[in-house]
Structure 1
Amino acid sequence: MLKGMTRFFDRLVQRYLPDPFLFATLLTLVVYGMGIVLTDSGPVQMMRHWGEGFWGLLEFAMQMVLVLVTGYVLASSRAFQTGLAAMARLARTPPQAILLVTVVSAVASWINWGFGLVIGALFARQIARVVADVDYRLLIASAYSGFLLWHGGLAGSVPLTIATEGHFAAEQIGIVPTSETIFSGFNLFISISLLIVLPLLNRLMMNTYDHPYRIDAKLLQDESAVAKEESETGQTPADRLENSRLISLAIGGLGMWFIVTTLIENRFELNLNLVNLLFLSLGILFHQTPRHFLNSVREAVKNAGGIIIQFPLYAGIMGMMVSSGLAEQMSLWFVSISNAFTYPLFAFISAGIVNFFVPSGGGQWAVQAPVMLPAGLELGVDAAKTAMAVAWGDAWTNMIQPFWALPALAIAGLRARDIMGFCIVTLFVSGIIIACGLLLL
């Protein structure tokens, strides 16, 4: 039955899911029309909401480009490839490959979402070189499925926001410690259950087809001359600088020094900027010379086009959703059909729907918190439970939202439709687990 479901959804997305850019374009038009029909905003106002929000994700878009570029650069270095290859050799068969990549991705995502998103895809590529007969599409989908755990983990933006002094909802709910959110019983149940179930689920989706999708290992080799030594040193001062190991050691070491001291000062709290600086510094150090490093960067930026062009579209969608009040209306509708028992479930589902249009954990919380928190408190639902229901809803529908898959797909060299059939199955199974954790504990 599971294989039949997987085949059905895979064929469905292969036939009807457009390229992520067209998906974002169509989503823009859908939200534009919904805003006109369901809110007081007219065509001109919706156009202004779109245009004014268009550049709202520039900082985040640059961070995601750096996630992709620095992750690729680090992965193309000899030292990193040697380390990943050693880990990849732990998997000797396709089932072991699927199980291992899911666990590594899930644990890494629970620690930090940016780290997990890149490491999962890089590790999957490396495993595909070692276990040549594994289904490559399922392998990348398995790596992406681990991303589900991010918002219940150490870098979850919602639990960290409400644990920070002076957050925007502090007057309503005060400071909510992570012991009541990330380390609460219901959240640990969800995280641990997903960590156990996801690898097994991905394993069960193996052999969906008689002829699994395999990729030539040669296509996974880096085409640049990044890891090759220069045949002769440069004769000009400029050439000698480009091949200077001392310069790479100095700037890479400076970055690592800053990271270590910052982590110690902040009690080892890792954020996206530190992850990017870590990848960048290690990439510079592992490539040993500026010339090798820059050769790798030139290869890496070729894969960043999707992020650069699509993130402004999602920022425009977010602008329309927030400024027109459409996101608030969606939240209010779910509140209106809830009671004290069902409220966490409906908060979770509403967040999953809003996530399609506002694919940013922090941004979505800013939109939904003013509606969800007062309604939850009025029904007698703990604020921590409401917050984590929204957080898990945000993470849940990432499985079928191409926005977050872009870096992983660029690293893997696949299209969104190649993995989304598997991800839909993951969505249904994980939704049951998360709902049980929110309702029963």
Structure 2
Amino acid sequence: MFKKFTNGCVRVVNRWLPDAFLFAVILTIVTFVGSMIGTKQTPLELVDAWGNSKGFWGLLSFSMQMALVLVFGSAMASAKICKRFLGAIASVAKDKKSAILVTTFVSTVCCWLNWGFGLIAGALLAKEVARRVRDVDYPLLIASAYSGFVIWHAGLSGSIPLQMAAEGGTEILGIFYSAPITDTVLHPANLIMVAVILFLMPFVNYAMHPDAEHTIIVDPARLVDEEERTYTVGTPAEKMEHSKILWAITLLLGFAYIIYYFATKGFNLDLNIVNMIFLFLGILLHGDLRKYVDAIGDAASGAAGILLQFPFYAGIMGLMVAQNPETGVSLAGIIADFFVSISNDVTFPMLTFLSAGLINFFVPSGGGQWAVQAPIVMPAATTMGIEYGRAAMAIAWGDQWTNMVQPFWALPILGMAGLSARNIMGYLVIVTIFTGVVACLGFLGWAMFF
């Protein structure tokens, strides 16, 4: 019965899911019409909200941070020592069951540490596993590698908890809200939810493995790595590019600041320090500045989807938050207010999670999600006496949850795997259902037992 349902999801997605960019275009149209009907604004007012500096171009700074997370994480994962490490992990996989279990588990851990690194490390690991286990279903293997991303916003690179933990907190409607990392990512309730997904999701993924007749075996040509670059060191310029002295000075400067940061500010991670850590770890592991420059160049192509689609999703966000000048009503406000209106101090985080999952279809960005929902959720949390960390994590969990069936963030791993979104999204529907149940029960437990 379970596999029949899974096969049905795969067939429906393969038939109906468009290209990821077209998906963004369709969402734009749906949001435009929904905003026009729900908020009673004119088409011209909504066109302005879509295309102005707070709409289409409203996430440029955050887009750059997210692109750097992906590029720095990818460059680090491409270092020879990382590849060897992933190869050693892949050698644990002896059959298709262990292939799915190992890939899911490792990618989930890596995404919890850093989402950009986790995405790329998961893809690299999946390819290493596919080389060793030839009868594993390749689309399911790649879906398993991506499924670890469902945990990223509950981890150390989550943008919402990092903003809450920033010095001075984050300003929302003139009020500053803050919560230390121990009240968000490292809170026992959050860690329990993460642990449940970490240890059970690998078995959920393996349960979806198709029978031999329907298994899709990877084309061996997809698993061939590019030849390692060779360098000539003859000219003064080339000697400087490969200079160990310049490499060491660069590392000394970077790690000196990182150590100083933690010594003076404690364990308060934000996106900038996370990016700095992975930047200088990448330089360290590549062992050569020229090699790292080339690794960055290779990794940058993975950010193409972010660069193309982020403005459209920023435009969608502009439509979602555009307010009727007379009534002050916005489409995002209508959705969030509805869930707030049917909540109490126990159900509020769970219903916030569900509303965040719905809004995430239209605003698949942690920063955008925060901008849309925080002005409604955080004041409501104050009124209900709910801890800011729990309220913020409800938004964060909703943001990561429906990424499984929102193709935007799957673009880098799909590019590396040579697949399209429709090849893996059918399997990820099941992951979405499973993690949704875990999160709903988790937030109810957070309210009642912590």
Residue by residue over 1:328-367, the C-alpha shift from the partner in whole angstroms, topping out at 9 and shown as x without a partner, is 1111122233345543332221111111122222332332
1:8 aligns with 8
Aligned residue in 2 for 1:104? 106
Letter in 2 for 1:126: E
CA 1:173–1:78 in structure 2 vs 1: closer, same or farther (change >3 Å)? closer
TM-score, length basis structure 2: 0.86
* 1:19 corresponds to 2:1: no
Give me the whole-angstrom Cα distance separating, in 2, the residues matched to 1:209 and 1:272.
44
**Which residue, 186, 189, 197 being the options, matches 2:189?**
186
What code does the residue aligned with 2:353 have?
A: F
Q: Does 1:316 align with 2:319?
A: no
CA–CA distance in structure 2, aligned partners of residues 248 and 108 of structure 1: 27
1:70-97 Cα shifts (integer Å, max 9, x gaps): 3443343322222221222222222212
Partner of 1:425: 430
Using the TM superposition, give the Cα deviation of residue 242 of structure 1 relative to its aligned residue in structure 2, in angstroms: 4.0
Taking structure 1 as reference, are residues 267 and 410 closer, same or farther at Cα in structure 2, changes over 3 Å only? farther
Q: Counterpart amino acid of 1:222?
A: D
Please name the residue that 2:411 is paired with: 406
- Tell whether the 8 Å contact from 2:377 to 2:391 is kept in structure 1 after alignment: yes
User: Structure 2: how far apart are the matches of 1:274 and 1:173?
Assistant: 21
Q: Contact between 1:118 and 1:408, CA under 8 Å: does it hold in 2?
A: yes
The AA in structure 1 aligned to 2:125 is F
**Equivalent residues of 2:76, 2:117 under 8 A apart:** no
Match of 2:201 among 192, 198, 201: 198
2:90 maps to 88
1:207-228, Cα deviation, whole Å (9 max, x unpaired): 35634233245533332542xx
Partner of residue 146 from structure 1, selected from 144, 148, 168? 148
* Distance of aligned partners of 1:287 and 1:191 in 2 relative to their CA distance in 1, 3 Å threshold: closer
CA–CA separation in structure 2 for the residues paired with 1:297 and 1:51 = 31
Matched, 1:47 2:47: yes
Query: For residues 429 and 51 of structure 1, what CA distance do their matches in structure 2 show?
Result: 37
Match of 2:326 in 1: none
Contact 1:6 1:208 in 2 (8 A): no
> Hey, what's the Cα distance between the residues in 1 that align with 2:303 and 2:388?
39
Is 1:65 paired with 2:64? no
How far apart are the structure 1 equivalents of 2:360 and 2:72? 27
TM-score for both structures, normalised by structure 1: 0.87
Per the alignment, residue 327 of structure 2 pairs with none
1:214 is aligned, of 214, 217, 231, to 217
How many residue pairs get matched?
437
- Is the Cα contact below 8 Å between 2:317 and 2:372 reproduced in 1? no
Distance of 1:174 and 1:301 partners within structure 2: 34
- State the one-letter code of the partner of 2:305: G
| 1:300 paired residue number | 299
Supply the RMSD in Å over aligned alpha carbons: 2.9
What CA distance in whole angstroms lies between the structure 2 residues aligned with 1:59 and 1:172? 22
Instruction: Assess, with a 3 A threshold, how the Cα gap between structure 1 residues 348 and 300 changes in structure 2: closer, same or farther.
Output: closer
Partner deviation per Cα, 1:356-379 (whole Å, 9 max, x = no partner): 122222332332233234445555
Give, in angstroms, the shift of residue 162 of structure 1: 4.1
C-alpha displacement of 1:255 = 3.1
Aligned 8 A contact 1:358 1:364 in 2: yes
Structure 1 residue aligned with 2:34:
34
> C-alpha offsets along residues 148-176 of structure 1, whole Å, 9 cap, x if unaligned?
22233344444444455443359989654
1:257-406 correspondence runs (5 A)? 257-324=256-323, 325-376=330-381, 378=383, 383-406=388-411
Checking the alignment, whether the CA contact within 8 Å between 1:72 and 1:411 is kept in structure 2 is no
CA distance change for structure 1 residues 378 and 261 in 2, over 3 Å: closer, same or farther? Answer: closer
User: CA 1:120/1:275 → structure 2, altered by over 3 Å: closer, same or farther?
Assistant: farther
C-alpha distance in 2, partners of 1:249/1:323?
Answer: 50
Task: Report the identity percentage.
Answer: 46
Contact 1:68/1:411 (<8 A) preserved: no
Q: Which moved more, 1:36-45 or 1:68-77?
A: 68-77
Rounded Cα–Cα distance in structure 2 between residues aligned with 1:180 and 1:43:
43
Correspondence for 1:137: 139
Compare 358-367 and 269-278 and name the one that shifted more: 269-278
- CA–CA distance in 1 between the matches of 2:368 and 2:263? 28
